[in-house]
Amino acid sequence: MLIGRVIGEAIASHKHESYEGLAVLLVQPLELDGSARGVPLVAVDAVGAGAGQLVLVAPEGYCAMTAVNRMQTPIDTAILGIVDHVDLRLDLLAK
């Protein structure tokens, strides 16, 4: 699971019928210090996230499909939660 920030949305005038009712967002994965980690991901939104919000992302197909209850839909990545607060304990990372 990754932490990321919603940076946009993907709008399609035509899409596969299995995607009906699903929002597709662009998410920038983040390092623990808040800096960008790699390239942005396209993720199905299972929780109603919005632009600028911190989110929990499942970057693995089976977990993503299960999260949105669409087992026959080709989904690689899904947003599973909206992050309210991150409490990073640096002293625990050093152990």
Domain count, the chain: 1
Buried b (16+ CB within 10 A) or exposed e, 56-65: bbbbeeeebb
Task: Output 15-24 pairs: Cβ under 8 A, ≥24 positions apart.
Answer: 16/73, 16/74, 18/70, 18/72, 18/73, 18/74, 19/44, 19/73, 22/68, 22/70, 23/48
pLDDT tens for each residue of 39-93: 999 999 989 999 999 999 988 777 777 777 677 777 788 999 999 988 877 777 6
The first and second tokens of residue 21, run together, are 């009712």
Alpha helices by DSSP H, the chain: 61-67, 90-93
CATH (domain of 84)? 2.40.50.220
Domain extent at residue 61: 2-93
Residue 23 has pLDDT above 70, yes or no: yes
User: pTM of the entire structure?
Assistant: 0.84
